[in-house]
Amino acid sequence: MASTNDLKNGMVLKLDGGQLWSVVEFQHVKPGKGPAFVRTKLKNVMSGKIVDKTFNAGTKVETATVDRRGMQFSYKDGEYFVFMDMETYDQIHVTPEIVADTANYLLEGFEATVAMYQGEALFVELPAAVELTIEHTEPGVQGDRSTGGSKPARLETGYEVGVPLFITTGEKIKVDTRSGEYLGRVNS
């Protein structure tokens, strides 16, 4: 149990009959009149649904002990993604629903954080940015600004991102894993 005054981003709460909710944002509010309260934005760990919830300040909330482990993506076994624990070398199979959009940026050997609760994987987190090689992109045509100076490029994972016209096939770029946006070239 914790107080709403102790909330932090990333903390996982047990609410609504045992459902797990991750704190995305929180704000302590002390209005001029009336009691203080905490305004939060919560994300359902299983479904990904985001809701706004308000708590009275000092209210007790049940927290879930989520174990975040550094794991390495080993390979894809059929539909499952296989991760290896970096400390124990145990392998776990994670479903595509749990890996979700992070699959767009996963290559064998990449390190990720896998959140575990009671032996079950809840979600997979990658660093904010990853470096990937462009597998294919069309040559940029000088003077073509109808697309805002960008063109599609397929990464080595198969995911497609928009890149500036000067980027060519075979270059290594940095991609934001939260938004899927091009961040810049990687200098070798």
148/121 same-domain check: no
For residues 23 and 54, membership in a common domain is answered with: yes
The CATH number of whichever domain residue 181 belongs to comes to 2.40.50.140
Please tell me whether residues 177 and 137 are part of one structural domain.
yes
Report whether 38 contacts 57 (CB < 8 A). Answer: yes
pLDDT digits (tens, 9 = 90+) for 59-81: 888 888 888 888 999 998 888 99
Same domain? For 47 and 78 the reply is no
**Is residue 116 located within the same domain as residue 157?**
no
Q: How much is the pLDDT for 147?
A: 54
Does residue 26 sit in the same domain as residue 50? yes
| Residue finishing a domain among 63, 92, 107 | 63
pLDDT tier at 141 (50, 70, 90 boundaries)? Answer: low
Check: CB of residue 98 under 8 Å from CB of residue 82.
no
What is the average per-residue pLDDT within 85-90?
87
Contacts of 186 (CB under 8 A, 6+ apart): 131, 172, 173, 174
Q: How many domains are contained in the chain?
A: 3
pLDDT of 71: 92
pLDDT band at 143 (very low <50, low <70, confident <90, very high): low
Residue 188's pLDDT band, with cuts at 50, 70 and 90, is low
Rounded to an integer, what distance in angstroms lies between the CA atom of residue 35 and that of residue 31? 7
Q: What does the pLDDT look like over 10-63, one tens digit per residue?
A: 788 888 777 888 888 889 888 888 888 989 998 887 777 888 998 888 888 888
Same domain, 74 and 46: no
Which of 43, 63, 83 delimits the end of a domain?
Answer: 63
- Which pTM was predicted? 0.69
Are residue 37 and residue 73 in the same domain, yes or no? Answer: no
Q: Which domain holds residue 105?
A: 67-125
119 and 135 housed in the same domain: no
